[in-house]
Structure 1
Amino acid sequence: MSISGAFSNALSGLTASSRAAELVSSNVANAMTQGYGARSLELSTRTPGSAGVRVEGVLRQVDEVLIGDRRLADAAAGYHGAQQQFLTDLEQVLGTPDQPGSLSGRLAQFEASLIEAAARPDSQTRQSAVLNAANSLTTHLNATSDHIQNARLNADQAIAEMVATLNAGLDDVQALNAKIQTAQARGADPSGLMDLRQQKIDALSPIVPFRQLPRENGAVALVTTGGAVLLDGKAARLDFTSVNMIVPEMTLAGGALSGLTLNGIPIDSAGERSLVAGGALAGQFAVRDQIAVTAQVRVDGFARDLLERFQDPALDATRAPGDPGLFTDAGATFAAVDEVALATRISVNAAVDPDQGGALWRLRDGLGAAAQGNVGDAALLNGLIDTFSTTRVPVSGGFSATSQSAAGLASELLSSVTSDRLQTETRLGFATSQQQALRQMELSQGVDTDAQMQKLMQIEQAYAANARVISTADEMIQTILAI
């Protein structure tokens, strides 16, 4: 080999070692950076049969299959997390039987106040306690219904935010695809752009479950597990219109609430056939259009049972036919065709409320009584107690077809919510465990700083050896020139 050839080979080795040292320093510096892929040099000989080294490019080392599985776990955690949060909050609003402010606790207080009033039918103080307990019960039902509708509104607004995030994120990934392709065409290293693209895609993964597919020149496509193409060259466009208020009568099927469109085409927003099923977006749709709606039906069914118990014509002979009982539908008699949102409207009859022009003694003498009767007569109060504890089969709300007291029905209402919450928590726990395990596996395959430092020592040795060759070649040339 000629002196010039040795000089050229050593110089190429210095260039490769310098570039390798730069990549090692970048790897070590970004060992804790989310979404960073470790870099390594791709080397080859300059030309077939000749010595020297050629830097072909930079390899970005990531496990795309592992990352894809972790993204699906992110989506599953988002889907179950949205539902678990709603059910947990609803369970807290209803309250457990040991809590005085719970639905069961207020029912117990109402029954206790009736029993105390029946023991002293002449006591206005005890009659006032009955009115307060009844108002507390209806107020709790009103608040529970309001909570459910507020949760639906929050879900609606969360959907709008997620759709905006998806659209912006897909546009960013599309732009990064173009920049990566341009960088590769120019022979530049696009690894930094790929890191940024991975971070952008990771931010979208909890919203919708999708797979990343490779395309030419480093570009990628994103396709949901349901088959919707979110990005393939051009980013898809999702559209959704949020509302400022939601009431129980507003439903997706009725057209009062917005669905989801993909490139202007309506798609199913929830359910197994949905193109976006399985992520936080579908979870919020499930809360708004399914789980919360079912909860409202149950609460309305309980309110109906309570109202109809005390609307029985045989209970109070002083009431005119068609007049409401102790509990009313916004002051009127309840009609079965108007059950939707009943829990929002249920209230205590104004005839027994002094603040509304009524009189407490009507709890004892009858809602339709024109004047007070025998102050020692507890017959009606005892009838109210019997009505409260009488078992009857609920006719709506999706309850079991068994005869139950008002307290028993309240217990089933809470049990149904608790059961749904526990099932959802189990699914969320599995999804979260899987997500954490995959995340740890992904991190374990990241930058190994020990291996990088060992590589740096090898690079240092190679750099010194190549420098020594150049120094020796220079000495030889100087010797020849001196002859």
Structure 2
Amino acid sequence: MSLTSALNTAQTSLSNYATQTSTISRNISNASDPNYSRRDAILTNSLIGSQGVSIQRAQDSALFVQSVTYMSVSSAQETLLGGLTDLKSIMGGNDYETSPSVLIATMRDTLATYAAKPGEATLSQMAIADAVTVANGLKDASNSVQTVRYESDKEIGRQVDQLNELLARFETNNNKVISGTGAGKDVSAELDERESLIKQISSIIGVTQVSRSGNDMALYTSDGVTLFETIARPVEFQTSSGFSATLQGNKIYVDGVPLASGSGASTTGQGSLQSLLQIRDDYAPQMQTQLDEIARALVVSFAETDQSAIPTLPDMPGLFTWAGGTVPAGATVVPGIASTLTVNAALVQSLGGNPELLRDGGINGAAYSSNPTGATGYSSLLDSYVQSLDAPIAFDAAAGISTNASILGFAADSIGWLELNRSDANSSSVSREAALFRTTEALSNITGVSLDEEMSILLELEQSYKASARLISAVDEMLQALLAVAR
């Protein structure tokens, strides 16, 4: 080997070491970035025998796809659990102290005490006060359920805007990847960004990736609807100004196709949008229906009937009344009745009413009075009210729980329904989060940066660098000797 060849070889080696060292330095500086994939600087030989450095990006496509899927289902499950937890908080949290079941049970006990001492005016006022608490509790719960729906609807709007922004950024990034690949450039940074965008998109909506020629990529929802193919497809949604028991929310349209909501406590949804739809359109309305059925049953159970020898007057609301002002007929849910439930003003002393009408009847006039003489020892009507709270009645199957139960039993079943779904959602959330963690960890072991490994390679490069430097120094000494002889 000539001195010139040796010098060129040493210079090439130093240049390659510089590239390798720069790559390792970049790896080390990005070690804490979860969206960064390790770069490997690999020495390659050309056809003429010269050495160069090729930058290769660590990746595992199959494991990345799996991690994105788990990220999507975990996001959906966590969102659903959050919504069910919000519904649980409406009932007073872990002890359900403000639930209709607890409030009605308290009212029943007070009514039973009043029935045992019907002449006690204080007990009549306590019974009315408990009834007001029940009515207000149902009204507040109904309003809170609609607030949960409204907040879910607003969050859907926010996430749809975010999704459209991410898809627009994905389009820009994908074009950079395609053009860079075509020009033979290193597109590792662009690929890192593209994978980061896919992760963010998958937490909002389920994503299926399809790789195409030229490093191009298309995105579809888990249901096969196009999210991105050459250009970003529009995701459209119109938020609602408010909600009620009779108002339905608007649909989400992906490229003109409506997005389905998830189903079940262990949700089938992928991404937070499908779970938000599930809370807004399934769980919250179901809970509203149960509240409405409890309110309807209270109106029916405490209704007054015509006490005439030959009854001709219709049944009328007694202790409890509502905006409709009638006694609902049949076991059919009355949407929104819980939100307008009140105690009859004729019984509220502060409104000029007489609480003892609860004992005697006649809230709707003399024809409905069961104790026209006003005997203080009369308790039959109060006893019938207490018994009605524990007697089975028919409920609408649309409530999704018991169709034949007492009011107290139905209210308790409503809590059981909510707690069962929340508990199942929590168990699924834990298992899916664990699966996501394991998959992410496995992917990180392949594509992530190990500081120990990078430092070890850096030490090896340092030794190789020293060897090349010594070679250059030796060549320099030889050239100096040759020049001295030539003189």
Scaled by the length of structure 2, the TM-score of the pair is 0.89
- Measured in 2, the distance between the counterparts of 1:474 and 1:360 equals 113
Contact kept in structure 2, 1:320 and 1:368, CA below 8 Å: no
Q: Cα distance, 1:135 vs. partner? A: 0.9
Q: Cα distance, 1:185 vs. partner? A: 4.6
- Report whether the alignment pairs 1:244 with 2:245: no
Larger CA deviation: 458-467 vs 10-19 = 458-467
Contact kept in structure 1, 2:234 and 2:254, CA below 8 Å: yes
- Measured in 2, the distance between the counterparts of 1:463 and 1:47 equals 25
Measured at CA, do residues 211 and 268 of structure 1 come closer, stay the same or move farther in structure 2, by a change above 3 Å? closer
Structure 1: unaligned runs, 5 residues or longer: 252-256
- Report whether the alignment pairs 1:287 with 2:288: no
Larger CA deviation: 135-144 vs 198-207 = 198-207
Q: Secondary structure at the match of 1:205?
A: helix
Q: Could you say which residue in structure 1 is the equivalent of 2:381?
A: 380
- Measured in 1, the distance between the counterparts of 2:314 and 2:184 equals 89
Describe how 1:360-375 pairs up with structure 2 within 5 A.
360-366=355-361, 367-369=363-365, 373-375=374-376
- Measured in 1, the distance between the counterparts of 2:312 and 2:147 equals 37
- Measured in 2, the distance between the counterparts of 1:299 and 1:461 equals 76
- Report whether the alignment pairs 1:222 with 2:223: no
- Measured in 1, the distance between the counterparts of 2:401 and 2:269 equals 28
Q: Could you say which residue in structure 2 is the equivalent of 1:254?
A: none
Q: Cα distance, 1:61 vs. partner? A: 0.8
Contact kept in structure 2, 1:259 and 1:266, CA below 8 Å: no
Quick one: which of 98, 110, 123 aligns to 2:120? 123
Q: Cα distance, 1:331 vs. partner? A: 6.3
Q: Could you say which residue in structure 1 is the equivalent of 2:478?
A: 476
- Measured in 1, the distance between the counterparts of 2:108 and 2:94 equals 14
Q: Cα distance, 1:158 vs. partner? A: 1.1
- Report whether the alignment pairs 1:321 with 2:314: yes
Measured at CA, do residues 212 and 314 of structure 1 come closer, stay the same or move farther in structure 2, by a change above 3 Å? same
Q: Could you say which residue in structure 2 is the equivalent of 1:23?
A: 23
- Measured in 1, the distance between the counterparts of 2:52 and 2:213 equals 24
Q: Cα distance, 1:293 vs. partner? A: 1.6
Q: Cα distance, 1:312 vs. partner? A: 5.8
CA offsets per residue over residues 128-158 of structure 1, 9 Å max, x none?
1111111111111111111211111111111
Measured at CA, do residues 98 and 29 of structure 1 come closer, stay the same or move farther in structure 2, by a change above 3 Å? closer
Q: Could you say which residue in structure 2 is the equivalent of 1:53?
A: 51
Quick one: which of 111, 114, 119 aligns to 2:111? 114
Q: Cα distance, 1:423 vs. partner? A: 2.0
Instruction: Let me know the Cα RMSD of the aligned residues.
Output: 2.6
Q: Could you say which residue in structure 2 is the equivalent of 1:8?
A: 8
Quick one: which of 308, 317, 327 aligns to 2:300? 308
Q: Secondary structure at the match of 1:206?
A: helix
- Measured in 1, the distance between the counterparts of 2:44 and 2:320 equals 87
Larger CA deviation: 285-294 vs 462-471 = 462-471
Quick one: which of 120, 137, 142 aligns to 2:139? 142
CA offsets per residue over residues 23-63 of structure 1, 9 Å max, x none?
11111222111211111124322433x3x3123x4211122
- Measured in 2, the distance between the counterparts of 1:300 and 1:356 equals 26
Q: Could you say which residue in structure 1 is the equivalent of 2:34?
A: 34
- Measured in 2, the distance between the counterparts of 1:222 and 1:104 equals 48
Q: Cα distance, 1:166 vs. partner? A: 0.8
Larger CA deviation: 379-388 vs 166-175 = 379-388
- Measured in 1, the distance between the counterparts of 2:259 and 2:80 equals 18
- Measured in 1, the distance between the counterparts of 2:380 and 2:480 equals 126
- Measured in 1, the distance between the counterparts of 2:69 and 2:212 equals 20
Measured at CA, do residues 231 and 368 of structure 1 come closer, stay the same or move farther in structure 2, by a change above 3 Å? closer
Measured at CA, do residues 289 and 211 of structure 1 come closer, stay the same or move farther in structure 2, by a change above 3 Å? same
Q: Cα distance, 1:354 vs. partner? A: 2.6
Q: Could you say which residue in structure 2 is the equivalent of 1:430?
A: 431
Which amino acid counterpart does residue 343 of structure 2 have in structure 1? Answer: V
- Measured in 2, the distance between the counterparts of 1:236 and 1:198 equals 19
Q: Secondary structure at the match of 2:456?
A: helix
- Measured in 1, the distance between the counterparts of 2:97 and 2:473 equals 89
Q: How many aligned positions are there? A: 470
- Measured in 2, the distance between the counterparts of 1:155 and 1:250 equals 14
- Measured in 1, the distance between the counterparts of 2:93 and 2:378 equals 36
CA offsets per residue over residues 283-312 of structure 1, 9 Å max, x none?
111111112122212221222222211226
Which amino acid counterpart does residue 362 of structure 1 have in structure 2? Answer: L
Contact kept in structure 2, 1:331 and 1:349, CA below 8 Å: no
Which amino acid counterpart does residue 254 of structure 2 have in structure 1? Answer: L
Describe how 1:437-452 pairs up with structure 2 within 5 A.
437-445=438-446, 446-452=448-454
- Report whether the alignment pairs 1:81 with 2:83: no
Contact kept in structure 1, 2:20 and 2:41, CA below 8 Å: yes
Q: Cα distance, 1:359 vs. partner? A: 1.6
Structure 2: unaligned runs, 5 residues or longer: 367-371
Q: Cα distance, 1:217 vs. partner? A: 4.1
Which amino acid counterpart does residue 326 of structure 2 have in structure 1? Answer: T
Measured at CA, do residues 459 and 176 of structure 1 come closer, stay the same or move farther in structure 2, by a change above 3 Å? same
Measured at CA, do residues 185 and 137 of structure 1 come closer, stay the same or move farther in structure 2, by a change above 3 Å? same
- Measured in 1, the distance between the counterparts of 2:454 and 2:79 equals 41
- Measured in 1, the distance between the counterparts of 2:339 and 2:460 equals 75
Measured at CA, do residues 98 and 154 of structure 1 come closer, stay the same or move farther in structure 2, by a change above 3 Å? closer
Among all aligned residue pairs of Structure 1 and Structure 2, give the percentage whose two residues are the same amino acid: 26
Contact kept in structure 1, 2:12 and 2:51, CA below 8 Å: yes
Scaled by the length of structure 1, the TM-score of the pair is 0.90
Contact kept in structure 2, 1:315 and 1:384, CA below 8 Å: no
